[in-house]
Structure 1
Amino acid sequence: MKEIEIENWNRKAQYQFFKNFDDPMFGASSNVICTNLYNEVKKTKESFFVHYMHKALQAMNEISEFRLRISEDKVLEFQKINGTTTVFKKNNTFNFCYFNYHKEFPKFYSSTCDAIDTAKNQDHFVTKNDLNLIYVSVIPWRNFTSIKHPRMFDKEDSIPKIVFGKIFEENNQLMMPVSVEAHHALLDGYHLSCFFNRFEELMKNI
Structure 2
Amino acid sequence: MKEININEWARKEQYHFFKDFMDPIMGATSNIECTQLFLSSKEKNESFFIHYMHKALMAINKISEFKLRIVNDKVVQYPVINGTTTVFKENKTFAFCYFQYHENFKDFYQETEKALLIAKNSKQLEDKPIMDLIHVSVIPWRSFTCIKHPRTEGNTDSIPKIVFGKVFKNANNYYMPVSVEAHHALVDGYHVCDFFNQFEKLMTKP
TM-score by length of 2: 0.98
Match for residue 107 of structure 2?
107
Does the Cα contact within 8 Å between 1:164 and 1:179 map onto a contact in 2?
yes
Q: CA deviation at 1:153?
A: 2.2
Query: Which residue identity does 2:165 align to in structure 1?
Result: G
Query: Which residue identity does 2:147 align to in structure 1?
Result: I
**After superposition, what is the alpha-carbon deviation per residue over 1:28-78, rounded to whole angstroms, capped at 9, x for unaligned?**
000000000011111110100000000000000000000000011110000
Does the Cα contact within 8 Å between 1:66 and 1:160 map onto a contact in 2?
yes
- State yes or no: 1:172 paired with 2:172: yes
RMSD: 0.8
Per the alignment, in what secondary structure is the counterpart of residue 29 of structure 1?
Answer: strand
Q: 1: CA distance between counterparts of 2:194 and 2:34? A: 17
Q: CA deviation at 1:154?
A: 3.1
Per the alignment, in what secondary structure is the counterpart of residue 91 of structure 1?
Answer: coil
Q: CA deviation at 1:152?
A: 1.8
- State yes or no: 1:45 paired with 2:45: yes
Q: 2: CA distance between counterparts of 1:117 and 1:32? A: 27
Q: 2: CA distance between counterparts of 1:90 and 1:155? A: 35
Match for residue 196 of structure 1?
196
**After superposition, what is the alpha-carbon deviation per residue over 1:163-199, rounded to whole angstroms, capped at 9, x for unaligned?**
0000001131100000000000001000000000000
Match for residue 2 of structure 1?
2
Structure 2 runs not aligned, ≥5 long: none
Match for residue 159 of structure 2?
159
Q: What does 1:35-184 align with in structure 2 at a 5 Å threshold?
A: 35-154=35-154, 156-184=156-184
Structure 1 runs not aligned, ≥5 long: none
Q: CA deviation at 1:124?
A: 1.6
Q: 2: CA distance between counterparts of 1:147 and 1:155? A: 19
**After superposition, what is the alpha-carbon deviation per residue over 1:58-117, rounded to whole angstroms, capped at 9, x for unaligned?**
000000000000011110000000011000000000000000000000000000000000
Does the Cα contact within 8 Å between 2:24 and 2:155 map onto a contact in 1?
no
**Deviant stretches of 4+, over 2 Å:** 153-156
Q: CA deviation at 1:137?
A: 0.2
Sequence identity (%): 60
Q: 1: CA distance between counterparts of 2:14 and 2:171? A: 39
Does the Cα contact within 8 Å between 2:22 and 2:155 map onto a contact in 1?
no
Match for residue 19 of structure 2?
19
Per the alignment, in what secondary structure is the counterpart of residue 203 of structure 2?
Answer: helix
TM-score by length of 1: 0.98
Query: Which residue identity does 1:96 align to in structure 2?
Result: F
Query: Which residue identity does 2:16 align to in structure 1?
Result: Q
Q: 2: CA distance between counterparts of 1:173 and 1:140? A: 18
Decide which moves more: 158-167 or 116-125: 116-125
Per the alignment, in what secondary structure is the counterpart of residue 130 of structure 2?
Answer: coil
